[in-house]
Structure 1
């Protein structure tokens, strides 16, 4: 037997060592006399509706595996959304559903070439991690000055190697939402063999003229896949349940790469209960939208110019003052999400937290 002697440390494959680290929102630090608030993770401060808590408390099968493919949840979604149950694939949050799509359609090939995935930047910071982990090449297109997707530039970036194109709407972290007419025009120019993913993690919060109807686009375009989640509007972030909606030309491949049992029994039961009480969910979303609009109006009155906010957060393009503002917020027992050198994303939270954030913005000296 030949014995090998290899000195050195254990290292991952090269692509893993080059991945950017995902930076989750940090909790707030205590400050004397102030209630701390976490405004750094776009969580729903209202939590789930009461029926969800009751449904979860009744679960007595924690010793059993969940449904392999979240069959009950998919059936419930199919009924609510009026789509085929075969067009729905569940995942561990919308990020898990996205990972399925990237793993199925983009990566490295036997000849050493890499498929390309196009997305706007700055956008959801998990995109480069998912794309590069799959072995694909990410192609980023800078957002416009107002934080919106540059759709024309994204079209110009398409090559023979492009396999997937991501549209994040409302865009996280900048805030603007895409309009239906502009996406319809955009899709007419995208090659039909490119999978276009419409990431709608915050779609329930959109209040614009010409709002995007992603389900209509999926019904019309076989290359469109829609991502949604129960983490934001439904207040179920801790349970990690999301899904994709696409035609079976896409979903049949997603089922090959999807991990079984990815949606827990508790998550499935909670999501179904939330679907059964959508009117209450919408009432909570409406209250958060009203708070978002109040905060946006107060910032405008204080002299701030921010992108159109259509999620459950606002974006302050602070540039080099990002870290300074985040520190100032921390002194007020507010945790915000800073992106070094670019800006700060602030979740719409409890009224007291929003009031404290507004007051900070009124007194903070920003040098544009």
Structure 2
């Protein structure tokens, strides 16, 4: 039995046992009416209209404990919806398991979970009010804009035996190859994936702008974050931002520090490669990694120490200002904890 139903999220009457999944074919259980009768439905195509907080879905009734006559499940019947991970009546999480190409701007009022398939923004804007958890599949910006109000984690989200949420390695791919690509992350950006981005050049253009911390976690395949050609990362937070790049050969292409706070930006790991495209200020210490920092005619001001154990610091017509010490040495700690 194929029916189209209109779900209005203001009224919590029907409870789905899974989140909405565009083009999923997944099963869900629903409770309808005052007596909470139970039927099992198969989710089909999902269309979200966030202006009116409405969701339209095609469903197949596959098993039911009640009669599914027109008086119970009519076409365009309106009933309420609450997801099992819904935090409030106006917030719906979305789980993607198959291909989804945007035909218009879309908004997801909860978290976005990408498990498989390809999300193609197709020149449109996708806004996510909470986090994006990218466990698998491809997120193809394709000339569009992705606005994330929370964190962007290219990781898999799990719950351990103690009931604590943990994050593990991902097979997700972020693809930015168009000069119009723009990803804005209001929270933290965390990458912990097996996919190598160097040879594929999936980070070759566009802008990744981050308001929180940047963290790249090593998981055995290097380099998983390898920006090239015209790709740019902008750190534009209003409080302290921390950069961690665990894999030695992962790298930024163009990195702009536009942090407006007194705390600024600090590097917690060595900088393997950085070519300046404007004057830059780093609040803490800087350790030069295995490759090259190229001032490219600009000024680099380091408010802490500059530690230079390896790699090349290419002044290249620019100006280097170090407010602390400049040590062309390797920094180590002895058994007593002394530097």
The answer to whether the superposition gives a TM-score over 0.5 is: no
How does the TM-score come out when normalised to structure 2? 0.24
More helix by proportion, 1 or 2? 1
More strand by proportion, 1 or 2? 2
RCO higher in structure (CA 8 A, sep ≥6)? 1
How does the TM-score come out when normalised to structure 1? 0.22
**Larger C-alpha radius of gyration, 1 or 2?**
2
